[in-house]
Structure 1
Amino acid sequence: MKSLLFLVLISICFVEYHTLNFQLEPGRIIRIQENGPRLSVEAERAKVISHRGGNATLPCKFIRDFPAAGSASHKIRIKWTKLTSDYLKEVNVFVAMGHLKRSYGSYQGRVHLQGASENDASLVITDISLDDYGRYKCEVIEGLEDDTVVIGLDLRGVVFPYFPRLGRYNLNFHEAQQACQDQDSIIASVDQLYDAWRSGLDWCNAGWLNDGSVQYPITNPREACGGRNAVPGIRNYGYRDKDKNKYDAFCFTSNFKGRFYYLIHPTKLTYEEAVQACLKDGSQIAKVGQMFAAWKLLGYDRCDSGWLADGSVRYPISRPRKRCSPDEAAVRFVGFPDKKHKLYGVYCFRAQN
Structure 2
Amino acid sequence: MAFKKMSFAVFILTCALLESSLLAGLEKERRKVVHVLEDETGAVIVQTAPGKVVTHRGGSITLPCRFHHEPENTDPDRIRIKWTKVTDTLQFQDVFVALGKQQRVFGPYRGRVFLEQAGPGDASVIIQNVTLEDYGRYECEVTDDMEDDTGFVNLDLEGVVFPYYPREGRYKLNYHQAEDACKQQDAILASHSQLHKAWLEGLDWCNAGWLEDGSVQYPVSHPRAQCGRKETPGVRNYGYRHKEDEHYDAFCFTSKLNGKVYFLKRFKKVNYAEAVKACVRDGSIVAKVGQLYAAWKFQLLDRCEAGWLEDGSIRYPIVNPRSRCGGSEPGVRHLGFPDKKFQLYGVYCFLKNEDKKDTDPRKTTETLTTGKSKNSMSINSTGTI
TM-score (normalizing by structure 2):
0.82
- 8 Å CA contact retained: 2:186, 2:289: yes
The corresponding residue for 1:272 is 273
* Alpha-carbon distance between aligned partners in 2 of 1:103 and 1:293, rounded to the nearest angstrom: 30
User: RCO (CA 8 Å, sep 6+): is it higher in 1 or 2?
Assistant: 2
| The one of 33, 36, 39 aligned to 1:38 | 33
Q: Is the 8 A contact 1:215 1:236 kept in 2?
A: yes
Residue 159 (structure 2) aligns with: 157
1 or 2, which has the higher helix percentage? 2
Equivalences for 1:1-353 in 2 at 5 Å?
Answer: 4=12, 11=19, 34-36=29-31, 38-42=33-37, 43-44=45-46, 45-70=50-75, 75-84=78-87, 86-229=88-231, 231-353=232-354
AA partner of residue 57 (structure 1): T
Q: Separation in 2 of the partners of 1:37 and 1:234?
A: 47
The alignment's TM-score, normalised by the length of structure 1, stands at 0.90
AA partner of residue 70 (structure 2): D
RMSD: 2.3
Structure 2 counterpart SS, 1:197: helix
Which runs of no fewer than 5 residues in structure 1 stay unpaired?
19-31
- Equivalent pairs counted in the alignment come to 336
Task: Check 1:36–1:349 CA distance in 2 against 1; reply closer, same or farther (3 A cut).
Answer: same
Counterpart residue type for residue 321 of structure 1: R
Residue 220 of structure 1 aligns to a residue whose secondary structure is: coil
8 Å Cα contact 1:15/1:34 also seen in 2: no
Structure with a larger share of its residues in strand: 1
- Aligned to 1:323, the other structure's residue is in SS state helix
Do the aligned residues in 1 keep the contact of 2:32 with 2:71 (CA within 8 Å)? no
3-state SS in 1 of match to 2:90: coil
SS for the counterpart of 2:194 is helix
Q: CA deviation at 1:239?
A: 0.3
Shift of 1:173: 0.5
What SS does the aligned partner of 1:275 have? helix
**Secondary structure of the structure 2 residue equivalent to 1:234:** strand
Shift of 1:15: 6.5
Amino acid across the alignment from 1:277 = A
Q: Structure 2: give runs of 5+ residues left out of the alignment.
A: 1-7, 38-44, 355-385
Deviation at 1:340, TM superposition (A): 1.1
After superposition, the C-alpha distances for 1:29-73 in whole angstroms (9 at most, x for unaligned) are: xxx87545632112222200000010000110101121344596x
Judging changes above 3 Å, is the alpha-carbon distance between structure 1 residues 15 and 312 closer, same or farther for their aligned structure 2 residues?
A: same
| C-alpha displacement of 1:14 | 5.8
Once residues 221 and 10 of structure 1 are traced to their aligned partners in structure 2, the CA distance between those partners, rounded to angstroms, is 66
Residues 52 and 139 (structure 1 numbering): CA distance in 2 closer, same or farther, change over 3 Å?
same
Q: Percent identity between the aligned chains?
A: 53
Distance 1:35 1:304, change over 3 A: closer
1:226 positional shift: 1.1
- Kept in 2, the 8 Å contact 1:136–1:152? The answer is yes
1:207, 1:216 → 2: CA distance?
6
Q: Distance in 1 between matches of 2:217 and 2:224?
A: 16
